[in-house]
Structure 1
Amino acid sequence: MAAAGWIAVVANWLVETLPESGFAAEWAALPAIDLGLPLSNPSSATREITERCIDQRLKWLASLPTKAVLRAASTPEQVNSQSLQTGRREVKLALTSRAVVDPARIEELRKLSSTKFDLTKLIRLCEEMNLAFATESYLAMAMLTRAIVDHVPPIFGMRNFSEVANNYPGSNSVKRELKNLETTSRNIADLHLHSQIGRKEVLPTITQVDASNSLDLLLSEIIVRMSGEH
């Protein structure tokens, strides 16, 4: 209970102090701390796992000041401001960020060989997704998610992603994630792509546009499917 409280306090602080940084989502994605029920007697193995989880969160917090400085230097506003101040027409990026699309997935896609489909654009879309996250370009992330979803249906022998989501012969868990991409992620992208300017605008946060779990599953299904080509 104390660990859960600690995690919640830090999460609230991150939301209030660094609301558009994506750090709250990173903190939430770290391993949970679970020793069981309050009156239970956890085993030594459980205690070791818990200690590792706590240590991982403490190391993450220790790195937060550096991460915040790097993130601040990479925001679109800061990048453009620096270019303006130096009288340059170039955009200079100096940043370090976690990958929304796992580089290992991108490398797996790059190694695939197919006579039916060229994955060059799909790979580039994934790479640009990571760049968009690193620069807090959350509008671009929403649009790139939709671009990926609209790009891949022929790999599954379908005309559009709605057919993929509704007819994919996988487990219910896979279908749920694909339907999430088809409904929630598509609706969010449509909102930002097609909405007209108004008197008051509210920009999306990483929480709104992060579909990384569903995208990773989609990419893994593509890799499995194309690996079986002859």
Structure 2
Amino acid sequence: MNTLFDVTLTEDQRNLLTAIAHPWLTTGEWPLWANVQHQHDLRGKDADVLLNSLPNVGIEGPFAASYGFVFHPRPHVSPRDRVNLTVAASLVLPEVKMATGEPFVKVLRHMIDLYIGRPIAANDVPTVMLRSTELMAEYPYIKPWFIKVVPDLLSHEPAISTGGATLGDGSWEREVTRSVMQYIGVESVEDYIAKTIKIVTANAAEITTTPVEPSEPQTFTPERAPYVDPALLDDLEKAARTSTWKLHKLIALCQELNDNYVARNPYACAALTRAVLDHIPPVFGHKDFKQVAAHHSFAVQRTDKAHAQKLTAFKDIADDALHRPISTAIPGIAMGDLPEPARLNAILQEVARLL
């Protein structure tokens, strides 16, 4: 049943995983897919075919209902995408297990201790934070290289929910949520992977067995990618290291938007999209997004200006999600009412360019 444990990879599949792992283990950066393709083209191999041949558990669809040795942002990977290994790759690549899998479990156990030890308040739910500076002080034997990449690892593990930001000095902080409590008792990399497979398999079964409501005749179609491109989020985090603008809230809003988009929560997505649009105008030198759409000279003027104008028009739907009072009528905001992801991605790309 646990195919990730039972599978025997071909030599070509193992070479593909090694080609992804090597740049990351040496530089902390995942390779561009175009570079992986090129390496395999030179050997007469098709990297895309090999990527699609790798085993997974769960179903193709929502992030939390699928798990394999790799994570990539969309079914058909583009040359500029970065394909990431997951902790599960520790099962087939000893160098990944030693460099990342084993220290990852130590960090996870530390996150569990932080959450268990959180203070209890009668009128508040305290936020528990994992910080790189505190992690380095607590575990001086963990290599600084690994501590630097912890946020990257956490963001590609399907059963751990977390958000946060990279700060201007290169340090980072991530929220520790109740999701880590699923891993109480995990002692090894194998324990962690087995538990994650169990969680993902249960999520996939819940999705595939959920009955369709009579009023919703269309079948459920899982989202194929996060709303905000993960590579674009990486660009914003890199910009945050040198920019005088503080991007903590923007990055957190985008991460929460991605989580709610995958979970198909239309009201939260509408509110978060509106929050992003209200948050970014000062970077463009304007007070509100309507002024941005009307007056900013975009790098790709005609296309991106059209995206901005469409997003301005979305304000009415977002206002409906946020401000419509309860009544005897049933409100109707659905996932299809959200702007196409490409529109917000284009505007955030312009933000990254300006920064």
Give the TM-score normalised by structure 2. Answer: 0.38
Residue in structure 1 matched with residue 350 of structure 2 by the alignment: 221
SS state of the match for residue 59, structure 2?
Answer: helix
Shift of 1:71: 8.0
1:138-153 matches, cutoff 5 A: 138-153=266-281
Residue in structure 1 matched with residue 43 of structure 2 by the alignment: none
Alpha-carbon deviations, 1:164-218, whole Å to 9, x = none?
A: 11001121221111111111x2111001111111213143221112441111001
Residue in structure 1 matched with residue 333 of structure 2 by the alignment: 204
Contact 2:266–2:335 (8 Å) recurs in 1 = yes
Task: Confirm whether residue 125 of structure 1 aligns to residue 253 of structure 2.
Answer: yes
CA distance in 2, matches of 1:141, 1:105: 18
CA distance in 2, matches of 1:145, 1:223: 17
Residue in structure 2 matched with residue 158 of structure 1 by the alignment: 286
Structure 1 pair 224–70 and aligned structure 2 pair: CA distance change class (3 A):
closer
Shift of 1:147: 0.2
Contact 2:265–2:335 (8 Å) recurs in 1 = no
Give the TM-score normalised by structure 1. Answer: 0.57
CA distance in 2, matches of 1:187, 1:215: 16
1:1-230 matches, cutoff 5 A: 66-67=59-60, 98-112=225-239, 113-170=241-298, 171-183=301-313, 185-226=314-355
Report the count of equivalent residues.
Answer: 149
Shift of 1:67: 4.4
Contact 1:177–1:217 (8 Å) recurs in 2 = yes
CA distance in 1, matches of 2:63, 2:341: 22
Shift of 1:66: 2.7
Structure 1 pair 114–100 and aligned structure 2 pair: CA distance change class (3 A):
same
CA distance in 2, matches of 1:179, 1:70: 31
Shift of 1:126: 0.5
Shift of 1:134: 1.7
User: Residue type of the partner of 1:103?
Assistant: P
CA distance in 2, matches of 1:193, 1:130: 19
SS state of the match for residue 110, structure 1?
Answer: helix
CA distance in 1, matches of 2:231, 2:62: 27
Q: Percent identity?
A: 28
Q: Write out the 4+ residue segments of structure 1 that deviate beyond 6 Å after TM superposition.
A: 68-72, 90-93
CA distance in 1, matches of 2:311, 2:62: 32
Whose strand fraction is larger, Structure 1's or Structure 2's?
2
Structure 1 pair 201–71 and aligned structure 2 pair: CA distance change class (3 A):
farther
CA distance in 2, matches of 1:141, 1:189: 9
Structure 1 pair 192–111 and aligned structure 2 pair: CA distance change class (3 A):
same
Gaps of 5+ in 2: 1-48, 66-177, 183-198, 205-222
Alpha-carbon deviations, 1:70-100, whole Å to 9, x = none?
A: 889xxxxxxxxxxxxxxxxx67885686211
CA distance in 2, matches of 1:203, 1:152: 28
Whose helix fraction is larger, Structure 1's or Structure 2's?
1
RMSD: 3.1
CA distance in 2, matches of 1:115, 1:124: 17
Gaps of 5+ in 1: 1-55, 73-89
